[in-house]
Each structure stands twice: as C-alpha cells, then as structure tokens.
Structure 1
Amino acid sequence: MVTSRRTPVGRVLAYLESTKNLAGGACGLVGLGLTWAGVAGAYWPVVVAGLYGAGALIAPPARIVTPCFPDPARRLGGVREDLDRLREYVGEVELPPAAEGKLGELLDVYAALLEPGWPAEVLAGEPEAVHALSRAIRLDVPEAVDAYNRARWWTRLNPGGESPERHLERQLSVLSEEAERVTADLRETEARRQQTHTTYLEGRRES
C-alpha cells in the first residue's frame, strides 16, 4: 500500500528516504568514528548530532518529478482530428447556400492554421490561439449548426420571428472575425520574430 506524503507517517517515511537523512546519517557515522577513536570525548553525543545536522543541511533537497504534459504538437494533432470529424458532421446537415459557403471558408482557415509543419509550430507557441481554435472546432461551430438544424424544424411548424438562417449567418460571421484575429495575431508573432532577427544582425554588425 502506498502511503501519501501528505500524512504524518508519509512525511516521516519520505524524510527517512531523503538525501538529507542519508547525508546526515553518513556524517553521524563519522562522528561515531571520531568517538571510537577517542577524539570526541564526553561530548560525543553533541558531536554526532552536530555532524548529522550539518550533513542534513548541506545535502541538496529531493528533486520533485515534473509532471509530464503532452507537447503542443500532440495537442494540435487531436484538434486536427476533431476538425476532420466536424467536416463529416457538417457534410450531413442541409445548410442554406450562403451559410454553407461561409462555413466552408471558415473550416478551410482552421485547416490552414492546423496544417502540419511550420504553420502549426507557430500556432502551438500561442496557447490563447490554440484555445480559441479548439473551442471553435469542438464547441462553437457544432453548436451553431445543431441549433440551426433544430430551430429550422420548429420554424416550419410555427413560422415567425428571426429566421434560423439569419442567426446561423450571424454566428458564422462572429466566428470568421475571431479566426481573422487569430490569424492576424500569428502573423504579428512572425513579424516580431523577423524584426528581432534584423535588430540582432544590425547590432552584431555595429559591435
């Protein structure tokens, strides 16, 4: 049974296994050796305890293992697979021509941003852009299409109000604007990178 390090017993066991305790114990053995050699005299308990404490203080702290998170490329691979599934889903829904065209353009932009290679590398370095793209593919677009499909059925039974087609077009317009902002931010990232390299080269020439 594994004892949690957060409990008192777990903390004691963890300390007994730590490098600090091992180093202190080694120094304490040196103190015992000095005692047996007659160097420590009557103060041998103080000597042993002092050497143990010194060894425990100078020993490096235990290294806590860093949690392993999936690298950005693997995360984007999952988003890319979700985009493929989204395309299949959208292909089965009957959409008005205007919305269908706008949605097709939007999905093409997503695909371009997720294209394996340097475009995806730039995207992977921007967590907010990855979040926005993942949210749009996994939540926003499916919800927009599904809501339209359901509302259209009810509208046929009870006409009136703003048409589902109009709502869908408005939603896709907002998502297209968001995609444009993401693309512009990534373009700005590359522009800053280029400018930084120019500044570096010019500074090296002047030095």
Structure 2
Amino acid sequence: MATSSGKLLRFLESKKNLAGSACGVAGVGLALTGAAGAWWPVVVAGLYGAGALIAPPERTAPPPFDPNAELDVLRADFGLLREYLAGVELPQAAGDRLTELMGFYEALLDPGWVAEVLVADPESVHAVSRAVRRDVPECVDTFNRTRWWARLTPGGESPERQLERQLDLLHAEAERLTADLREAEAGRQQSHTTYLEERGQRS
C-alpha cells in the first residue's frame, strides 16, 4: 500500500502531470468562457493529454560512482599479482624486465597526487587494469606452460624470447601511458601560465 501511495505521489509531482494539469486548467478556462461548447470535457481531457505528451520525460540521476574506489580495488588486485609473481621462477633477463614493469604500475597506483592524475583519465586506468589483471598474468602463465612443452619438443622460438618480447611491449605501453599523463600535467601547467598572463594584461 505504501508503494502504491509513493507511485501516486511521484506521478502527481511529475512534470507530465504538472504540464497536463496546466493545459487542462486552460481548457477549463475555455469551457467557462463558452468557447469549448458542449464538448468541454473532451477539450479539457485533450488539452491535459497534449500537455502530458509535450512535457520532457523524468530524468533519473546516474549512480554516483567513485573512481577512487575503483583504484582501491585495482590496488588490491595488484597486491595479488605481486604475490603470484613472487612464487614464479623466471629467467634472469625476463625477471628483471618484469620487476621494472611492476615498478611502473606500483608508482602509478601508489596513493597520492600521481594516482589522482591517473584516476582523472579513465583510459589510463583501463590500460593499467588490463595489464595488471590480464596481460602480465597471461604472459607469465603461458610462458610456464609453453616452457614445459618446449622441453618435450625442442625447436622453434624459445618461450623465454617470447616472454621478453611481451614484456618489452608492455613496458613500451607503460612508457606511453606515463608520457601521456605527464603531457596532460604539462598542458595544465601551461594553461595556468596563460591564465596568469592574460590576467596580468587585464590589470
């Protein structure tokens, strides 16, 4: 019963009902002046319906997502990834490259102003998330699987070389990402310089 009352109240307060009622009142005014004749109920109902149709639809506000909460979840997943990697044996060259790559992600996700810059760019957050949750684990896991098969059937490109190429590509992607974020900050600094120059010219 309370739900039905709430729906009725929302309808009475809706833009469609208010607009329809306003037009309906205008129809009543026409009826009182005699302009609507004997068909005044139809005129009033028609004007109400027309007003309800032309009124803009009700807008439901989107939920207030907190982008920082997404980073908190990503940091937790990054911690899981570090635990996983700690128990994996990798060749020296690939291991060093992976350590350097993980340093990139750690620096970006570390709470502080850098993370604030990161979270302001959803594409960058997506790139880091994809690397942490899919790319790096996939690189390491497929290396371990392929290395086992390579021991049984040697030949072809070594799994170690494939892993190094994958990590090089991820490293290049991380460098591009940080360069884009740095460029965004440089643009922000330049915009402030321009603002101060223009303000100085006006004073």
Fold shared, TM-score > 0.5 on shorter chain: yes
In structure 2, which of residues 145, 157, 160 is the aligned counterpart of residue 165 of structure 1? 160
For 1:171-193, what per-residue CA distance to the aligned partner results, in whole angstroms no more than 9, with x for missing partners?
A: 11111111000010000000000
Q: Aligned letter for 2:142? A: A
Measured in 2, the distance between the counterparts of 1:113 and 1:190 equals 14
Equivalent of residue 24 in structure 1, options 20, 23, 27: 20
Q: For residues 7-22 of structure 1, what are the structure 2 equivalents within 5 Å?
A: 18-22=14-18
Match of 2:99 in 1: 104
Q: Distance in 1 between matches of 2:35 and 2:148?
A: 96
Q: Quick check: 2:14–2:58 contact (8 Å CA) kept in 1?
A: no
Give the TM-score of the pair, scaled to structure 1: 0.79
Alpha-carbon RMSD across the aligned residues, in angstroms, is: 2.8
8 Å CA contact retained: 2:108, 2:114: yes
Return closer, same or farther for 1:86/1:39 CA change in 2, 3 Å cut-off. same
Instruction: Give me the whole-angstrom Cα distance separating, in 2, the residues matched to 1:135 and 1:42.
Output: 67
Count of matched residue pairs = 191
Q: Which has the higher helix share?
A: 2
Q: Distance in 2 between matches of 1:77 and 1:93?
A: 25
Provide the rounded CA distance (Å) in 2 between the counterparts of 1:149 and 1:188. Answer: 38
Shift of 1:24: 2.4
Equivalent residue for 1:43, pick from 19, 23, 37: 37
* Alignment partners' CA distance in 1, 2:24 and 2:100: 73
Q: 1:95 aligns with which of 90, 93, 112?
A: 90
Equivalent position of 1:67 in the other structure: 62
Partner of 2:117: 122
- More displaced 10-residue stretch of structure 1: 192-201 or 47-56: 47-56
| Residues 36 and 43 in structure 2, CA contact (< 8 A), matched pair in contact too | no
Q: Between the two proteins, what is the percent identity of the paired residues?
A: 61
Question: Where do 5+ consecutive residues of structure 1 fail to align?
Answer: 1-13
1:49-73 Cα deviation digits (max 9, x unpaired) = 5764685488x52431132262221
**For the Cα contact (< 8 Å) 1:152–1:164, is it kept in 2?**
yes
Segments of 5+ residues of structure 2 without an aligned counterpart are 1-9
Judged with a 3 Å threshold, the aligned counterparts in structure 2 of structure 1 residues 64 and 196 are, in CA distance, closer, same or farther, namely same
TM-score, structure 2 as length reference? 0.81
Q: Name the CA shift for 1:29/1:202 in 2 (closer, same or farther; >3 Å).
A: closer
Task: Classify the secondary structure of the residue corresponding to 1:70.
Answer: coil
The offset of 1:78, in angstroms, is 1.7
